[in-house]
Amino acid sequence: MINGAHVLIYSRDAEADRAFLRDVLGYPYVDTGGGWLIFKLPPAEVGVHPTDGGEAGDREPPTELHLMCDDIEATVARLRERGVEPTRPVIDAGYGIETGIRLPGGAVLGLYQPKHPVAYNLPDPEYADGQ
């Protein structure tokens, strides 16, 4: 049965992005050899948003990664202490208070404090018993 998710971030500078996840965000990791680090992420959830096709044109719809926090102002302050500037002002987007951060390789991650109930702390479904 499915027991996790593996997120891929494509990067123009994979080494710098790995260092960012390791040193700035402090994510624990395993080294699989050859510089390939796999990072443990905080608890996660997935949302599916509709698209009208206009955002991606003829390409596949985009996939985004948003990091979640309990206090966005405190999180942004800690990131600034580590040399990370938000990519846009912190705003109230209705579902949460959000901004973004740029990885050294160019990818932008969303960062938000949800105002909605979160799903990542729900109990596992009955079928998730490893069978």
The number of distinct structural domains making up the chain is 1
What secondary structure letter does DSSP report for 14?
A: H
Answer yes or no: is 31 within a domain: yes
Write out the H or E segment, with its range, that includes residue 16: helix 14-19
Which of 68, 80, 56 shows the shortest CA–CA distance to 120? 68
Instruction: Tell me which residue range forms the domain holding 37.
Output: 14-114
Tokens of 64: 């985004």
What does the pLDDT look like over 69-109, one tens digit per residue?
999 999 999 999 999 999 999 999 999 999 999 999 999 99
Answer yes or no: is 33 within a domain: yes
What does the pLDDT look like over 20-69, one tens digit per residue?
999 999 999 999 998 899 999 999 988 888 877 665 556 677 788 999 99
Say how many residues make up the chain. 131
Answer yes or no: is 4 within a domain: no
Answer yes or no: is 92 within a domain: yes
Half-sphere exposure of 21 (CA within 13 A, CB side): 24
Which CATH number belongs to the domain containing residue 95 in this structure? 3.10.180.10
Answer yes or no: is 124 within a domain: no
Residue pair 85/7 in contact (Cβ under 8 Å)? The answer is no
Answer yes or no: is 95 within a domain: yes
Answer yes or no: is 131 within a domain: no
pTM of the model: 0.80
Write out the H or E segment, with its range, that includes residue 74: helix 72-81
Answer yes or no: is 94 within a domain: yes
